Amino acid sequence: MVDMESAKQSIPCFLISCNGKMATVSTTKRVVIEWLLGSSADISEKFGPLWKFVKSYVLVPVLRFGLYVCLVLSFLLFLEWVHMMFLAALAKIMRKKPAKRYKWEPMKDDLESGSLDFPMVYKISIGAACGLSWPADRLVVQVLDDSTDLVIKDKIEKECMRWASEGINIRYQLREGRKGYKAGALKEGLKRDYVKECEYVAIFDADFQPEPDFLRRAMPYLIHNLDIALIQARWRFVNADECFLTRMQEMSLDFQFVIEQEGGSSIHAFFSFNGSGGIWRIAAINEAGGWKDRTTVEDMDLAVRAGLMGWKFVFLGDLHVKSELPSSFKSYRSQQHRWSSGPANLFRKMVTEIAKNKDISLSTKFYIIYNFFFIRKLVGTMFTFLFYCVVLPLVSLTPEVDVPKWGAIVATFIIATLNTVVATPRSFYLAIPWVLFENIMSFHRTKALLIGLFEAKRANEWIVTEKLGDAFKGKSKVELSAAKGPGCLKLLKERILLQELGIASFLYACGCYGIFYGHDRYYLYLFPQAIFFTIAGFGYFGTIVPTCPELA
């Protein structure tokens, strides 16, 4: 018990001896705390056992359970990695290239039959489309425009008129409104009367540049194999060396192409359409129900529905299409939100339909549900963030929880190095930075995944991915500053990301604790990861285009 009279008398005596305002305030606070709770020793005596109880019976068990879950997920991911590497290796060892597995004959120009041997193809894009090596009377170039910028509309229309004057069968299709986004545009394009004469549709986004012989190399698979619905080409990136961000994207996408799609194509004849750089058999699109806008991954939606009907897909790893990567961190984040939320939302809507499907084998059904969706689209994303950004830092604060080193650091970095060596050999020395960067993106992907899985507010958000290309190269800072854009305050707000900085602070704190009190050297990972989160938090990943003089 504290004597009230003694406490009242002690305060003025101390105020006279200290003769300082700051000392008065701090001492008053200390006296009030001691009056309420007791002395420092009393506080430690009261709350020490409580903290030990909470730590022993709540924090440690929960953290240990989370660790076991992560280790199980890590093992499942390792098995999937072995499975994918095995498929890719098997395809190469057994020379299971598409030309060996399917009938393929080169397209020949016949003077007698003219262009009748060439099926009707229509292509959605401008640019390299008009330069494709294909008879002009057997090719329709359709440009789908639903942009809201009048200047862009005018330029596109004039470009179409220029090609039309040179004898190209090009159609400019203007769409009012953006209902259904890309799926809506593709559905609208297939309704046109002139498309009814076509058997195939080659789809390219506006920044994609196919080589002139693209159709001649890809079309024979569709012509001679009536069970093939889709030919997917491999993407190559014209701006991969533009900045660190584009190099990281190249490594991630190369792994998807070389390991996932090539392996899935060679053994299972199923993978997801990438949305561009591919040719579809229109009959397969119609049989599968056409384009749907129920998710933001209309390409994956169509591929899964066509796969459930027994159609086969072929990935051509040696057929390249040039494209461009988003070079700003903001654009890349919005793209990854769509690419993570969409598959989770599609899984939610289709898992029952897939399980009940009677047209495909049990093994194919298992492959689509477990390998394609559950492991690659859900578990892989959640595990990366949960383990490396939450569980492992907390473990460094609680020595009672022990993490097997093989499951924490060693296995991950060995696998990452092997992945880069196989998929992107020229970037093998960036394996560690790639892992650290992917951990940052796992934070955004996990948020998007949960939004899509529970169909929250932003589940169907569609933001066009901005790609700078050469638009800003060669311009002075005055020209860049004069360009229309957000104000300085708004731009600064977009640049500074508080969530990334918050995670960075958490990792720094765990790392500092580990240096002074930790038994393991997890700070060797925590500090580099914290630095990467800090760089992301201040918006210094990717190309930075100044739009106001103060930030130039």
Q: Could you list the active site residues?
A: 146, 299
Q: Which residue has the tokens 């359970």?
A: 65
Closest by Cα among 285, 300, 276 to 198: 285
Cα 302–306–309 angle (5° rounding)? 150
Closest by Cα among 1, 9, 5 to 34: 1
Question: Which segments within 82-182 are labelled E, that is strand?
Answer: 121-124, 139-145, 170-174
Residue 280 C-beta-side C-alpha neighbours within 13 Å: 26
Contacts of 248 (CB under 8 A, 6+ apart): 430, 433, 434, 437, 438
What does the DSSP 8-state code read for residue 280?
A: E
- Spatial separation of the C-alpha atoms in residues 328 and 312, rounded to whole Å: 36
Number of H helices, E strands in the chain: 23, 8
Cβ(368)–Cβ(327) below 8 Å:
no
Closest by Cα among 471, 493, 488 to 537: 493
- Spatial separation of the C-alpha atoms in residues 518 and 520, rounded to whole Å: 6
Strand partners, 142: 124, 171
Closest by Cα among 446, 419, 448, 447 to 434: 419
